[in-house]
């Protein structure tokens, strides 16, 4: 069983009483990993998975959860399904994409970290947040009335021309 499958199994097999404490603990640990990476301005994280898990004081499965979360914010794609404890990995983080994805999933505990100040200026972060908000804004186009002139320029009413 791959480390990714172990992580998924761990997440999916929680009882309702275990779920909240599990996720609170995981998010606290994930936040500490991000704080360390942002504080050290580490665009590249590399090493054996088990060593990196030890470095960040998490289990191998929890580190896999971190990789699962950050995988869409990397410059180069990694195959999560093939990663084992002894696999050497190299992840190159695209900080702008990471911040955007944190805003997208509403991970306020992550995108409001003070450590972002050394990575992305406040103006850039606001710009990224604005970009996300505008990407999900739906603009409703004007509807053509049936008795208005047709848009094709034929001079006929829309209902008698292209509106059929």
Half-sphere exposure of 3 (CA within 13 A, CB side): 22
- Residue 146: the pLDDT is 84
pLDDT in tens, the chain (164 residues): 889 999 999 888 888 888 999 999 999 999 999 999 999 998 999 999 999 999 999 999 999 999 999 999 999 999 999 999 999 999 999 999 999 999 999 999 999 999 999 899 999 999 999 999 888 777 777 788 889 899 888 999 988 998 88
- Is there a domain that residue 135 lies in? no
- Is there a domain that residue 67 lies in? yes
For the chain, what is the domain count?
A: 1
- Is there a domain that residue 92 lies in? yes
Q: State the maximum Cα–Cα separation within the chain, in Å, rounded to a whole number.
A: 74
- Residue 116: the pLDDT is 95
- Is there a domain that residue 159 lies in? no
Q: Is the pTM of this model over 0.75?
A: yes
- Is there a domain that residue 22 lies in? yes
- Residue 117: the pLDDT is 92
**Cβ atoms of residues 2 and 83 within 8 Å:** yes
Q: Rounded distance, CA 14 to CA 65, Å?
A: 15
- Is there a domain that residue 110 lies in? yes
Range of the domain at 15: 3-120
- Is there a domain that residue 137 lies in? no
- Is there a domain that residue 152 lies in? no
- Residue 142: the pLDDT is 79
């Amino acid at each position: 069983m791959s480390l990714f499958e172990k992580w998924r199994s761990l997440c999916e097999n929680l009882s309702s009483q275990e779920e909240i404490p599990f996720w609170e603990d995981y998010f606290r640990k994930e936040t500490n990993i991000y704080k360390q990476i942002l504080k050290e301005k580490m665009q590249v994280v590399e090493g054996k998975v088990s060593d990196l898990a030890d470095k960040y004081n998490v289990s191998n499965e929890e580190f896999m959860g971190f990789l699962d979360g950050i995988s869409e914010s990397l410059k180069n794609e990694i195959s999560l399904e093939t990663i084992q404890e002894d696999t050497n990995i190299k992840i190159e983080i695209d900080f702008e994409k990471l911040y955007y994805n944190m805003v997208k999933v509403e991970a306020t505990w992550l995108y409001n970290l003070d450590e972002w100040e050394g990575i992305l200026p406040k103006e850039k972060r606001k710009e990224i947040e604005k970009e996300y908000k505008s990407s999900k804004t739906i603009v409703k186009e004007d509807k053509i009335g049936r008795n208005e002139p047709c848009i094709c320029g034929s001079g006929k009413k829309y209902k008698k021309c292209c509106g059929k």
